[in-house]
């Protein structure tokens, strides 16, 4: 039986299965939360669990510290519900909600796919997030 997750401050709610992360369920139901790596590394998806319990899953301690957890924070790309949840997180409603950033990167690959088209693959530092 699915749990219920409510987003604050919007009040939007969606069902979430115990095996799903909060981020997976939100995206599946059309709610866009901030995220980047989806692997517990960058911290872009960090938000507060106001009510309920989560299994924090696997993540890097630099993205979610013990102090963060003590304050009720969780990484929504890793956290899975153990009960109904109320979480505090800003929803991304439009492109204007995404901050423009300049950051270092390395060219990781270049593939010429047509005479006038090249696919350029860039690699960001592991601690950088896009959102």
Token pair 């010429």 is found at 112
The whole-model pTM stands at 0.74
Residue 128 CB partners (closer than 8 Å, separation 6+): 42, 103, 104
Domain that holds residue 58: 3-93
pLDDT in tens, 41-56: 888 899 999 999 999 9
Q: Is residue 121 part of a domain?
A: no
CATH code for the domain of 81: 3.10.20.30
What's the number of CA atoms in the CB half-sphere (13 Å) around residue 115?
0
Q: What is the tally of structural domains in the chain?
A: 1
pLDDT in tens, 81-103: 999 999 999 888 765 566 667 88
């Amino acid at each position: 039986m699915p749990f219920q997750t409510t987003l604050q401050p919007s009040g939007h709610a969606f069902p979430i299965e115990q095996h799903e992360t909060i981020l997976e369920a939100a995206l599946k139901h059309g709610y866009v939360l901030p995220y980047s790596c989806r692997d517990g590394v960058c911290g872009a998806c960090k938000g507060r669990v106001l009510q309920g319990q989560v299994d924090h899953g696997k993540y890097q301690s630099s993205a979610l510290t013990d102090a963060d957890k003590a304050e009720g924070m969780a990484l929504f790309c890793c956290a899975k519900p153990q009960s109904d949840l109320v979480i505090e997180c800003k929803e991304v409603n439009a492109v204007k909600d995404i901050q423009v950033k300049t950051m270092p990167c390395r060219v990781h690959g270049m593939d010429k796919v047509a005479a006038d088209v090249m696919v350029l693959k860039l690699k960001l530092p592991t601690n950088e997030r896009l959102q």
